[in-house]
Amino acid sequence: MIIYIEKDALNYTQTNKIISLFPEATKIIIKNYKNIFDKNIPLHQEKCIVIAKITWSAIWKTPDNYGHTPNTYFFKTSINCVFDCSYCYLKWAFKNDMQVYFVNYDEIKKDISEVIEKDKNPMRFYSSDYSDILWSNKISGFLQEFVPFFEKFDNVMMEVRTKSTCIQDIIDLWFVPKNTEFAFSLNPQILIDKYEKWTPCLDDRIKAINKLLEQWYKVWLRFLPLLPVKNYEQIYTEFVEYIKKNIDIKKLHSSFAAGLLYTKEDYNKILKKYPRLDILHKLKLEKDDFVRCDREERDFFYKIFKDLDKNCKICMDE
């Protein structure tokens, strides 16, 4: 295994913690993580991680109508996901699948604090749009750093979105946070098998969800991306019934549903890279300039998830 370390990231506490996890690894000092990360390296050919310092703002505003409140933000502490979901935008966003960990946590926290101080209205921060934060926590130490940090604020919520079942790190925090919600992405097992390579099965995700609910953690279900596959009505109807039987919906903090959606530019990129991916050919350009499944399919999806949870948030759609 190789650990590439930016020279400017050498003296951070988190760097030393990560290095200590891999005592046998070869360590290579680099000037800028992009010198490695921007190389075309075949998937899983080389086992390595990259430790870097983020030098731009780690926070940016979400698109309109994305979240439960108008004031919602993404923030980034790592790049790339160990899972290999066919539809994921990360598959064409980067040239390789190397895990990059940004270690200047105090500076990222400072940026977040400044955003919060400017606006006292309710806010939500999404932490996992570029990686599966929960899966990588053994390396990143993200939960131990950021869950207590967000507890300091009022009217602020952080989401940790995941397909992972590695919930012991959550339980080992030894308190139930009021300002962190653990959001599990779910799809029918038949679609997990086909499109969500290396991810835990649906039943294991449900077990993790129920264990957290039993201990009063805030859990959010994310039904996304909803895929317009053949026989989708039957597949998703049976899926909703399975969720009803196996999860106490009344205990959920919230839920969220979103169809498969790309910008025109991103759609063309993934179509060029994966021309045989069947679900891509079931999408079309809509009036809002997003490429997505048609209105009839979306309305079906939204209805069944609203029937499951009347408070289910529909993402970026009317």
Residue range 27-70, pLDDT digits in tens: 999 999 998 888 766 545 568 899 999 998 899 999 888 877 88
**Interior angle at CA 45, CA 42 and CA 49, nearest 5:** 100
Average pLDDT over residues 123-144: 94
- For residue 53, what are the contacts with CB-CB under 8 A and spacing of at least 6? 6, 8, 9, 12, 102, 103, 104
**pLDDT for 46:** 61
CA-based Rg of the chain, rounded to a whole angstrom?
A: 20
- For residue 117, what are the contacts with CB-CB under 8 A and spacing of at least 6? none
Over 90: is that where the pLDDT of 26 sits? Answer: yes
Range scoring the smallest mean pLDDT among 5-14, 84-93, 242-251, 301-310? 84-93
Contact (Cβ atoms closer than 8 angstroms) between residue 160 and residue 180: yes
**pLDDT for 95:** 77
**pLDDT for 40:** 66
Cis peptide bond prior to 225, omega within 30° of 0: yes
Give φ, ψ of 65 to 5 degrees. 65, 30
Over 70: is that where the pLDDT of 100 sits? Answer: yes
Over 90: is that where the pLDDT of 217 sits? Answer: yes
Contact (Cβ atoms closer than 8 angstroms) between residue 292 and residue 257: no
CATH number for 2-225 (one of 3.40.50.10320, 3.40.50.720, 3.40.50.300, 3.40.50.12110): it is: 3.40.50.12110
> Can you give the residue ranges of every domain in the chain?
2-225
The tally of CA atoms less than 13 A away on the side-chain side of residue 133 is: 28
Average pLDDT over residues 132-147: 97
Average pLDDT over residues 197-205: 97
Which is more confidently placed, 289 or 192? 192
When pLDDT is cut at 50, 70 and 90, the band that residue 244 belongs to is very high
Average pLDDT over residues 194-199: 96
Average pLDDT, the chain: 93
Cα dist from 215 to 175, 211, 274, whole Å: 10, 7, 42
pTM here is 0.94
Distance CA 102, CA 50 (A): 9
Strand partners, 314: 257
